[in-house]
Amino acid sequence: MRSCQRKAAVAFWAALAALAWACAVNCALPGQLQAAPSDSTGPSASTPSWQVLLDRAEAPYQAGNYSDARPLYEQAVQAVNVTDVAPQDRIHCLRYLADCYCRLNQPEQALAQFEQVGALLSVEDLDNRVENLNHEALCFGLRLEYDKAQSLCRSALKLCTDTKPEHLWQLARTQAHRAYFDYMRGKYESAIPGFQQAERTLDESARCDMLATVFRQKMAFAQAGSYYHLRRFDDSYQQFKRVYDLDVRLFGKTDLQTGWAMLALSDVLEKTNQHQQAEEWYRKSVYTFRKFNRDRLCREFASQAAAGVDLQNRINSYVFGNSSAPADLEDTQEPLCKDSLALVNTHDPRSLYARPFTDAPGRVWLNPLVKQRGVVIAIHGLSLEHSSYDAFAKQLAESGFCTVAFDMRGFGAYRQALGAEQLDFDGCMRDLRLVVNAIKSDHPGKPLFILGESMGGAIALQFAAQHPQLVDGLIASVPAGKRFKQGRMAVRVTIHFLENRTRPFDIGTDVIDQATHDPRVKRAWAGDPKTRSLLSPRELLAFQSMLNRNLEYARQIKSTPVIIFQGVSDELVKPEATYDLFRAISCRDKSFVMVGNAEHLIFEEGCFTPAVLKGLVAWMESHARVPAD
């Protein structure tokens, strides 16, 4: 049972990653009720119990706490089932519960609710019948059962055959829905005309409001990603430019969404060897991501400002350093939507497809109340993402070290970026080079350390070898490539490669089981919606090839101070392999730390100990000549 649950969870998040930008944004359907706003004075005596429960669930739902909202939705469904209510009220509750199940990676439970909805809908209710078929298709898509998902989309399209103009919106969304499933299966050649057909249908509908504009942005993003995978970079550039122009119209030039469009433009220009233009777009994207982090930190510390301390200005100074806003980032007209993140939770599970980016590819942690002593660039391990350093980075911040952690290409927030959702080590190295260069330039005199764990440790080691002038110290945790049960994994990869080298399969369950026996760590790792447990054979071969270069790069580290960590109880990476790598490092200023009772993770998912943290801070202070307070 636990294995089945894990596989369902893995399937959900793998599908959700690429789903994020492919299909249309949601709007209220005819007959689809919205939750009544909560009354600060409390519910009246006439308010039905199911509506009271929906009202109570609204706050945790909007905050993204779906585990807290779910039991309230379940109780609401139970309440309508024992009450004489209109079918529409029962449908309303079932949909809310189904949506919550989808967001909790429980598509089987969600499908059961949608099937009940389908039984309650009248034959004349065309829009809602089409919508419900698409919701059921979503559930099968989240389980990676694309043939069943496509079959339901075809059934929905048949209902739309003789549709009237007022129903063209649903037809366009269904066409996009179907094209998305082609994209997910790597059928980019057929996905592109599918998305184009959805846009033509939207044109026929003559709809031009904000939701229609967002729909066009999603279709442009999906086509751009398809062209990118087909290496048709000129076509990809034209579509990404459309995405950028629509994002500017929708959200403004410095919104998080626009930053991702800028990053995509930079990537495709780099592919066509237009390096100067690529770096210009990259600088603009980094500025928007810094702004996003600056605003987040200002909110976090808003209540901690002491009298006479301008924390907002201090945070701004720490995040941006000497840099100023790049040219041409001022809005010339008011954007249509002032808060793009308001589009995330709409009580429609298809918002999983169309949700905006909710995070930047990099996260900054610092404490503006503490003197800043240096910067740590943190790189996560395989399947994890930047927020896995959250607890560790917050503790480093108390010691005056700012941590900047990045999602590596193919992980975390990149899984929403169509075209860039696959593992790309060359792209990772380019990101690190450009960002570290910017930080060194914007914060002259501040020591900069690069830290990585597991896969991230190998990337950090190789970056330090290639760019010794940019790094004041290397901190690598379990960076070796030799692993326990490596032969068994090689056989699995070979079998899957022969079947389909680009089709992902589950490695996450085995990795987690080898990495830790701690139930808390297992839950944190497996339960993070941004972790990635499915990788394709092609990606895994690239991963192993990268690890195989470790010894070669270790020998090139001749002057950069190094400290390497290895858990004594690590059952994933062989400790002797890490020590062999340590011995290969040419620099004499190197330290090897065996951490007693530690498993694979030393820093991520809150696995660090006070002693490890204290020792690491002391090592950084001594090697950076950071003055004590």
User: Tens digits of per-residue pLDDT, 561-616?
Assistant: 999 999 999 999 999 999 999 999 999 999 999 999 899 999 999 999 999 999 99
Asked if residue 211 has pLDDT above 50, the reply is: yes
CA distance 175 to 168: 10
In this prediction, residue 625 carries a pLDDT of: 61
In this prediction, residue 500 carries a pLDDT of: 87
DSSP secondary structure string for all residues of 504-572:
-EE-HHHHHHHH---HHHHHHHHH-TT---EE-HHHHHHHHHHHHTHHHHHTT--SS-EEEEEETT-SS
Q: Which two tokens stand for residue 486?
A: 């490596």
The share of the chain scoring above pLDDT 70, in percent, equals: 89
* Bridge partners for 379 per DSSP: 406, 452
CA distance 43 to 66: 23
| Top-confidence residue, 25 or 203 | 203
Least confident of 8-22, 331-345, 469-483, 514-528: 8-22
CA distance 586 to 527: 40
In whole numbers, what is the pLDDT of the chain averaged over residues? 87
Taking a C-beta distance cutoff of 8 angstroms, is the pair 23, 348 a contact? no
| Top-confidence residue, 48 or 163 | 48
Which residues neighbour 351 within 8 Å (Cβ) at sequence distance 6 or greater? 25, 26, 343, 344, 345
In this prediction, residue 504 carries a pLDDT of: 86
Q: For residue 533, name the pLDDT band (cuts at 50, 70, 90).
A: confident
Asked if residue 172 has pLDDT above 50, the reply is: yes
In this prediction, residue 162 carries a pLDDT of: 61
In this prediction, residue 505 carries a pLDDT of: 86
CA distance 138 to 121: 19
Asked if residue 284 has pLDDT above 70, the reply is: yes
**Residues, the chain, total?**
629
In this prediction, residue 38 carries a pLDDT of: 39
* Per-residue CA distances from 191 to 150, 153, 178, 186, 525 (Å): 12, 14, 8, 9, 33
Categorise residue 589: left if φ over 0, alpha if ψ from -120 to 50, beta otherwise: beta
Please give the single-letter amino acid code of residue 457.
Answer: G
Asked if residue 43 has pLDDT above 70, the reply is: no
Mean of pLDDT values over 40-65: 81
pTM of structure: 0.86
In this prediction, residue 71 carries a pLDDT of: 96
Please give the single-letter amino acid code of residue 335.
Answer: P
In this prediction, residue 20 carries a pLDDT of: 39
* Residue 303 DSSP code: G
The helix/strand/coil state of 469 is helix
From the list 379, 437, 382, 434, the residue with the least C-alpha distance to 404 is 379
In this prediction, residue 32 carries a pLDDT of: 37
* Residue 483 DSSP code: B
| Superfamily the domain 357-624 falls into | Alpha/Beta hydrolase fold, catalytic domain (3.40.50.1820)
User: Tens digits of per-residue pLDDT, 331-349?
Assistant: 889 998 887 777 766 777 7
Asked if residue 246 has pLDDT above 70, the reply is: yes
The helix/strand/coil state of 593 is strand
**Among 39-53, 198-212, 372-386, 486-500, which range has the highest average pLDDT?**
372-386
In this prediction, residue 142 carries a pLDDT of: 83
